[in-house]
């Protein structure tokens, strides 16, 4: 399921280019276009899920897969000594794009922005 108005769905479909880090049949990881840290990438499910609050019990394996991938991909990007992972949810949670995504940030501190 895709939302034709969702920027991340367009990235997944390839109609908006991205700098991909990882892709399989369920997820896509790509560099953030406005990085807040030396390493800043996003991990998104290919299926459109608007927010973390919208996940259902059937999404358990997908969410588990994403959480397993986060440290693996962070390590590949040189974040062996630590990284930050963030899921913003809803308007008061700072979510800007309504497609579930995990921000992964790392690299030498201080970063340009303290929060995501």
Flag whether 73 is in a domain: yes
pLDDT over 90 at 2, yes or no: no
| Model confidence, pTM | 0.94
Cα 73–79–85 angle (5° rounding)? 65
- The band of 115, judged by pLDDT with boundaries at 50, 70 and 90, is low
* Annotated active-site residue in 40, 48, 99, 101: 101
User: Residue 86 belongs to a domain with what CATH number?
Assistant: 3.30.428.10
State mean pLDDT over 51-57: 98
The answer to which of 12-16, 44-48, 100-104, 107-111 has the lowest mean pLDDT is: 107-111
Domain containing 19: what range? 7-106
Reference 83, options 111, 52, 44, 112; nearest CA is 111
pLDDT recorded at residue 1: 72
Domain count for the chain: 1
Find out whether 75 and 52 touch, Cβ atoms under 8 Å: no
In a domain, 82, yes or no: yes
**Do residues 98 and 51 lie in contact, with contact meaning Cβ atoms separated by under 8 Å?**
yes
User: Catalytic residue at 101?
Assistant: yes
Residue 17 lies in a domain: yes
pLDDT tens per residue across span 74-83: 999 999 999 9
Is 14 inside a domain boundary?
yes
- CA nearest 79: which of 28, 36, 38, 35? 38
In a domain, 35, yes or no: yes
């Amino acid at each position: 399921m895709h939302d034709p108005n969702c920027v991340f769905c367009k990235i997944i479909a390839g109609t908006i280019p991205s700098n991909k880090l990882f892709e399989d049949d369920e997820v896509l990881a790509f560099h953030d276009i406005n990085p807040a840290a030396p390493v800043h990438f996003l991990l998104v499910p290919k299926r459109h899920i608007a927010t973390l609050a919208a996940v259902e019990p059937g999404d358990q394996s997908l969410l588990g897969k994403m959480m397993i991938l986060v440290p693996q991909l962070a390590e590949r990007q040189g974040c062996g000594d630590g990284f930050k992972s963030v899921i913003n949810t809803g308007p008061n949670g700072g979510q800007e794009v309504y497609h579930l995504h995990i921000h992964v940030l790392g690299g030498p501190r201080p970063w340009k922005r303290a929060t995501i």
